[in-house]
Structure 1
Amino acid sequence: MAHTGAAKTASRNGSKSKSRRRPLDDEGIIPVLARAVREVESQAARGKVNAQNRTKFQVAALLVREERNRVKDDAEVSTQERAEVLKRLDGLAAIMAKTAAKDTSLIALLAPEAKVSEAAKRLRRDFLLASGAQLAPEELIIVDRVETPSPEAAKQVVPQSVRQAQLANPFMAPDFAAYAQSTGRAEGRLVNWELIEPLFRAFEQGSGGGAASMELPEPAGLSTPGGIELMPHQSSFVEAAKAGHRTFLLADEPGLGKTAQALMAAEVAEAFPLLVVVPNVVKTNWAREVEKWIPGRRATVVHGDGGELDAFSEVFIVNYDILDRHVGWLSKFDFRGMVVDEAHFIKNRESQRSKMVQAVAGTIRARLGHPLLVALTGTPLINQIEDFRMIWQFLGWIDDKKPLTELMAKLENTGLTPVDPGFFAEARRAVISMGIVRRRKEDVAGDIPARRIADIPVELDDEAGRSIRDAERALVERLMARYDRVVAARGTPTPTIDTDLVRLVCHSEIEESKQDDSSQNVFALVRTIGKAKALMAADYTAQLARNVGKVVFFAKHIDVLDVAYQHFVDKGFNPTQIRGDQTSQVRQDAIDRFTTDESVGVIVCSLTAAGVGVNLQAASNVVLAELSWTSAEQTQAIDRVHRIGQNVPVTAWRIVAAQTVDQRIAELIDQKSGLALRALDGDEEASTVEGTMQEAALGNLLIQALEARGEIRG
């Protein structure tokens, strides 16, 4: 069991502080264990032992074992006292053996290797406290569901600088507010209701209208330690942190300066050391932002195994990709706050990055109770409302099953249940008040010029175009065959299109495509379309650059980026580029060249590598050579240019292959953005697309084909 050594120390400390007591006094751990063992024995005599008493049984067995080892090893215990204590422990062990004989399922709990639940760890702590033992600070805090992998599995490291910092400050002062909170018992009208799904529905429906933004104080001082003025909307956020609010989902539209707000919130909350988890591409930029906004704070960037890390810094910047190597020491370090940039990166609960973030955040919350936790993302919803789940869990608003104490109290205060009229609107307001902050550019930054998206259709008339159309027809025929097989198996064909079956067929096709490397699936088709458009998109970009100046060129696939980059070199545009295989420093150098070197006319960017945390406002025109599978990715790309500091209108030119699935994707992207409009901006009229973009695009193709053969849309 974890912390066994600490338990022995704690028990020993407890016995030393009462060294004059006689072993048979009603003190110490044995009377506590005796009461627990008798309760379990009594229930076993009546039948099966329930979960609560099973936990008591296991904890009693653990502590009997620990106390036996302690009294045998304690040189200060007299021979007579040792014999007396061991006799009493033997008596408890005998009762437990008889109890296990009555309910044989208890036998497994006696094994030393039996898994110890979080509930058992808490009960063990409570038993020791009841016995009068003096526990070490780390034993007072029990962290739920921290999924820290073994060092072997995660290849964890402890940088030398961290070891030096730990030696310099071996003790961390815990905030016992966390312990006080953990001992509270859930009660109230809603305790037995399933609430997570209703909370999601409240946002999906846009219930009550209005933007999803908590009430913020009036902006106060705009100055910063770096001598740069905040904008009023940024100052309001900082004032909320200054007033004591500690958890935020800062979902301002991209380009409204979320980085500055997070750093200034940490400054006023004195949340240092501060841990910042970011995409790899923006690590260097975050270090620059620290120097810009809070120059009195020293930042360190964690690379690789952390050999260059300065553990005596106040801001620690680490990227998602190496968290598994560092999660061990990060979970134990004395962080007072944590910022997760581009927090939609953790939306998949099964992903390694999400598990690592939750593990570190869980230990910080457990240790401090009310640390500063900030999730930054202008696009928190990618495909579905459930994308909120892991962000809310990081912030400590919910766990995997229910709202936690503070949010539950707010829901209780509404006086409503999910079946009552008005619950969804009130529940949405309750969640928003936990710390959702969402501002749109048009509302808070009127000086940012407008932006528009213009489609440039291109015709694929050559052999590549014919091949693409043939592949698309084959894909549609395969979808129709799947659909027809299911309808035939039902034995009840109807002239009405079954839209649920359409979604199921398209979902199956997508899942199979993920495992299929052939050229027949939708992913390969879209990639082929991108390659066919590459030279035309690059040529259009070159013409644009000649007329308007600097242009940002975005594409998704490496072969498209390669074709475009070489085209710009041949045309004399002295291009630079941002790609996924570059180091952070090389990326930053590319951005600096594009920003300051007038001879650089084009920057070629990967949608995934440059779509977040990059400032490219030296340009006002963006070319999207390939369409993304999410509206959020498109928005992020455009907002590398359309952001605070831009002083001319921004235009994004989408290169769309006419008469192909590419055109349907372009049409769906704008519909997909309706999810954020409904959930975050309170637009109840916004239309949305169910499922992923891939499923929606395939569903569109299949329904169109079914209608062409005479079936009717339901």
Structure 2
Amino acid sequence: MARPGQRKAGARRSAARDQRRVRHRGDIVVVLARAVREVEAATQRGRVTPAVRTQFQAVALLLREERARVQAEPSGSDSHRAEQLKRLDGIATILATTAVQDAGLLALLAEDAIASDAAQALKRDMLRTVGVEPAPEEVPPTETPAAPATPERRVVPQSVISRQMANPFLAPDFSAARERTARPRRLAGWELIGPLLSSFERAGGGDSACMPLPAPSSRGAVEGLALMPHQAQLVAAAAAGHRSFLLADEPGLGKTAQALVAADAVNAYPLLVVVPNVVKTNWAREAGRWTPHRAATVVQGDGDTIDGFADIIVVNYEVLDRHVGWLGDLGFRGMVLDEAHFIKNKTSQRSQHVLELSNRIRSRTPRPLLMALTGTPLINDIEDFRAIWQFLGWIDDAKPLGELMDALEDTGLTPADPGFYAVARRRVIDLGIVRRRKVDVAADIPARRIADLPVELDGPAGRSIRAAERELARRMVARYETALANRSAAAVVGGIDHDLVRRVARWELKDATTAQAGGNVFSMMRRIGQAKAGLAADYAAQLARSAGKVVFFAKHVDVMDAAEDTFARQGVRFSSIRGDQSPASRQRNIDAFVNDPDVAVAVCSLTAAGVGLNLQVASNIVLAELSWTDAEQTQAIDRSHRIGQTEPVTAWRIIAAQTIDARIAELIDSKAGLAARALDGSDEEVSSSADVQLEALVTLLTEALSAVPQSGAA
């Protein structure tokens, strides 16, 4: 076997041969291509020797330098430069895909990787091959300037570092962002932001607040799913070239699906989605449904578990401060801001981070897709539009920008002209404001539907609940194995004995209904309800601010108490309807919710307020805890979905992901028939609560047994 020195000499002789064949700078690509193919072949054979690593690093060093030289070269045509960069990017692709196959090669791509003397020497030889004399080697300074300090909480997840290391030469090209040609400004001396905001306050109640939208397209249909006509209209607008939207549809009209499919229609990947904490799991789930061919990842905490190579990155406002650094450099081609009214206070840290990210994307990416989603009606909180319009790139702190300024110039009017306000409002709306109400698209949506909202139970409460669930499964497995061991040999069956599983589940359910202590299925569901209470109340408060009155249902008094504490802290007025109230007190609370416009939420007991109430003043319902039957759930929804209701009703069911809560939700749906429940409102009782409880335990035990070897199996 040849020693490294012999291989190095061989490489130099090969370079000498190349020198006789190539005589101009452009042929460096030929040398690089040949060298990278040799490295690729050696890696595929599993023979990554020191000489191969030297050759790999030499190619990487020279490729980086050559790419920078081509980009900075003042002479030559744009087409020639683009052709050279395309050829270099092809080599970079091979280099990156080769690197991920070997950790040693991958480490050589890091920015702080030390270039070996052998790699530097080989790089110089490769340059001389094409007749280029290498620059004299620089003597490193005795002291390296300290890097600028970063905020203490800033982090860069390891998977993001791996992405950067694996693909350093195919990093986002920020040089292609569009530069606008300056126009003479007739309105340069006018203050315009105030009049633009005022134009919305002056509008009449019947004035349209929605841009013209094209006919619905068929884009967005995936197996088992299809966009509703009003959703498909927005996607068609994006596909036709529109790139900024203030999507202000009422809750329940599918803004999430519209944003995801619009991003897919214009290939706005990678896509950044910034959301409230309570809905980030749901965004990942919806991405899996509507764009299953695109990987989505959710940033939790410091981002230790994220997929750095995902197409869709979902992050919540609360942790944005830790991640804004690397997010700003990832090269996003689209950004979605859910519950965009969260940034209305421009002095807040969350608003500043959002605007910083938006500015980076707009300055580096030609025509990015920017979408601000909020259900807040356009006639309220006009000043809140400032931050949202700035996020979309329509204005800055002082003036309209780009397309909006051009549109105002073209009107020929000034704020002193009477017709300015109506025309200016129309120009802003045409930039991308889309507002539909449930009553506007009633034909598109069912009269009543249930939307599941999965949430992650983080922190000690979530860990405790998952530990209790594992303990319950362990206890049933032990009971199952004891019963199996006491059987005669003739009675033992191969694999899991499903009859025995069902009997063990019945024993556990009987014990749970007769004993109040211990980690049984009922105490576990109560603990899950307590853990969900704050998240469910937070979502109900968001709905109340954007869509009007909300009915909040819970099973347990302590869950109602926790929700009411959350509403009180957030300044949301509520009525409380419970089973221990006197008739007079109960009626006062009902009347306050129905008649007082400032009472935004009715906090109701699922059992005490699930029947006999008329709450059709609200069209949004939050089910903070699961009932054991679909009929009980339907009775609660029918407090709003009844004669006198003029809008479609949406029930938001809060589900604790990755817990028994999610299993029970699936069981309730399967027992009742999901299609009937969601589309025609069937409340037929097809199973008892005991059936669902038993099946939940059967499912839990079966999954636990499937994960471990079976005792006594034939």
TM-score tier by shorter-chain length is 0.3 to 0.5
Q: TM-score, normalised by structure 2?
A: 0.47
TM-score w.r.t. structure 1 length?
0.47
Relative contact order (alpha carbons < 8 A, sep ≥ 6): 1 or 2 greater?
Answer: 1
